[in-house]
Chain A
Amino acid sequence: MEMQLVFFIEVLAGGLLAGVMYALVALGFVLIYKASGVFNFAQGAMVFFAALTFVSLVEKGWNFWLALVVTLAVMVALGMAIERVVLRPLVNQPPITLFMATIGLTFVLEGLSQLMWGSQPHGLELGVPDVPMEWLSQKWNINISQFDLFAAAVAGLLVGVLAVFFHKTRIGRALRAVADDHQAALAVGIPLQHIWAIVWGVAGFVALVAGLMWGVRNGVQFALTFVALKALPVLLIGGFESVMGAIIGGLIIGASEKLAEVYIGPFFGGGIESWFAYVVALLFLLVRPEGLFGEKHIDRV
């Protein structure tokens, strides 16, 4: 194949797979927004907290699976604690108040995780090496990381499970009802507290998965919390309420970001990835103000 075409495919594939990584983080946002109408800014801090807890346990010599289970338990407990301490007293407050509370939560989580485990960066190893696939590079000379494919598979699995969970199970339907209207959901007898505890627990689980994937890629360090900022444009494009949207948005953002960096970036002297995704998201929003798969809101006066 031609060199340029190969290069293009490589960049595109790399971008798409990076997009899946963004989508993993975006999923956590979507979950909580969908189920409680809270824009949870602390998701990035939760990703960091989960990854740091896991890696610290492993470095203490714990068994991999034991550390995974314990971290998962910690994340679920954390989610429930957040529900009890932060959200329950704030029922029926305007969304911006809840949003601010999650920013406060970000500070608490960031401080807490570094207080417990220290602030030095850690490396993380999951047994899937971050090296190009051999047969792909031999046959077509395209370099695609094995780990990226693994992460994409994990993300796909997660999305599938969550989609079934939201649409087919009783709890999933209750979650959607709560997202629609707190008071109406309470009125038909949905236990709001349990529902929120469940969804924050699940979000903790998603944060753990995202934290592991990103931890392998970039190392477990404070910069992990900024991953959340990368996931926000994904949300804008996909819509805050759509699990599918998170994946599609992630693919769009990942691909366009990488392509722009390679083909447009040099004209600006590079470094455009810090804002390019946001501009792409803005353009999408001008056409579809609630993202591609977000729910349309009809305002009544």
Chain B
Amino acid sequence: MLYREAGQFKSTYAEDQGIFPLRQDRIAFAILMAVAFVLLPAFGNQYWLGAIITPFLILALATLGLNILTGYAGQLSLGTAAFMAIGAFMAYNFMLRMPWLGVIPSFILAGLCAAMVGVVFGLPSLRIKGFYLAVATLACQFFVLWALQRFGWFTNYSTSGVVTAQRMEIFGFAFDTPATKYLLTLSVVVVMALAAKNLMRSETGRAFRAVRDMDVAASVIGIPMMKTKLLAFAISSFYCGVAGALDAFAFLGTVEPERYSLDLSFRILFMLIIGGAGSILGSFLGAAFITLFPIFLNLVSGWISHTTGFEISHAVISNLEAIIFGGLIIFFLIVEPAGFARLWQIAKEKLRLWPFPH
């Protein structure tokens, strides 16, 4: 009833090719944007904005980057966090050494640096596939972290390896409160997500999917393997690099290389799988779930110890959290291997008929 495309006729190609061809989708998107851009910063709790929603958006962006590579182009990567690290530390260096550049150009350049490294570590993908490739991307993860810790230039020779992100200012406007940082993050994420959405339905995106489904067949029908795979690595690393820069500047403020360990790569991979590989929306849903779930668990354990008076030690909680987390991932994989994005699709199908299913 509510979600029905009947009566919406498209009379031009432009209308037919819109990102959101359905009116309901457009309305929903507009409402979402209004809430995100106006309501949340105006009325939202500063703690929630700074400590939960901003990192959620950043991780969603990184997941989106991984999704382009793994979900769309089918190249499994375990080095996501390394590209974020490159983005974070290169953005710091650009701001430090070329302060006249400004914030956004620094972020873009940092992303490009990540993209270049991504292309280098993407080269083996031309030769090796599947799990061999996944393990090979671990080389990137370990090498980049080692380089960041070993060569003082990256951290401006700080003895502890910790760097403090500079103040962000764009055209004289300072982004220094949680709300303004959130707005900056949100703008970057929205622009990049829309760009990804568009890119994935272009010729490039179709080439990615052809490579994912079967790369031999794709090369037979004339898709240039080298260009497509390396482009996927470059774009994906660019997204991760920008996410890393945002992570350092808009969320953490002070970063050290250890933050971008293999653990973070895995967490992003989980977000991808739980959200749904090969779906832009899925990246956001997965990131939201993985960010919110530990908070939820904490609340529950706090509530249990409060009501029953039974004190649970911190170690037990963190172990239980790991067990529940791992168990949920297995559970999700079993019941819905295609992730939240698939559930959303099913819901949409149901909504089309609701409330008159016959």
Contacts and interface: CB of A to CB of B under 8 A. Distances in A.
B217 interface: yes
B330 A95 contact: no
Interface string B162-191: 000000000000000000000000000000
A105 B132 CA distance: 21
Contact of B322 (A99, A108, A279): A108
Interface stretch (A166-174, A204-212, A228-236, A243-251): A228-236
Main secondary structure of the interface of B (DSSP, over half): helix
A101 interface: yes
A294 B332 CA distance: 32
Contact of B124 (A103, A109, A286): A286
> Which residue, of A100, A272, A278, has the highest number of chain B Cβ atoms within 10 A?
A100
A229 B330 contact: no
Contacts of B143: 275, 278-279
B272 to A, nearest CB: 9
B326 to A, nearest CB: 3
Contacts of A301: 214, 216-217, 220
A269 to B, nearest CB: 6
B154 interface: no
Contacts of A110: 322
A229 B262 contact: yes
Nearest to B318: A111
B150 A112 contact: no
B118 to A, nearest CB: 15
Contact of B136 (A90, A93, A268, A285): A285
A291 interface: yes
Contact of B333 (A39, A104, A119, A233): A104
A97 interface: yes
B273 interface: yes
A104 B326 contact: yes
B11 interface: no
Nearest to A104: B329
Given A108-B323, A114-B319, A285-B128, A100 B333 contact: yes
A111 B333 contact: no
Interface of A: 39, 85-86, 89-90, 93-97, 99-101, 103-112, 114-115, 118-119, 229, 232-233, 235-236, 240, 268-269, 271-272, 274-275, 278-279, 281-282, 285-286, 289-291, 299-301
29 contacts: A90-B333, A96-B277, A97-B333, A99-B134, A100-B270, A103-B266, A103-B329, A104-B325, A104-B330, A106-B326, A107-B325, A107-B329, A111-B319, A111-B320, A111-B322, A112-B323, A114-B315, A115-B323, A232-B135, A240-B131, A275-B142, A275-B143, A275-B146, A278-B135, A278-B139, A282-B136, A282-B139, A286-B124, A299-B215
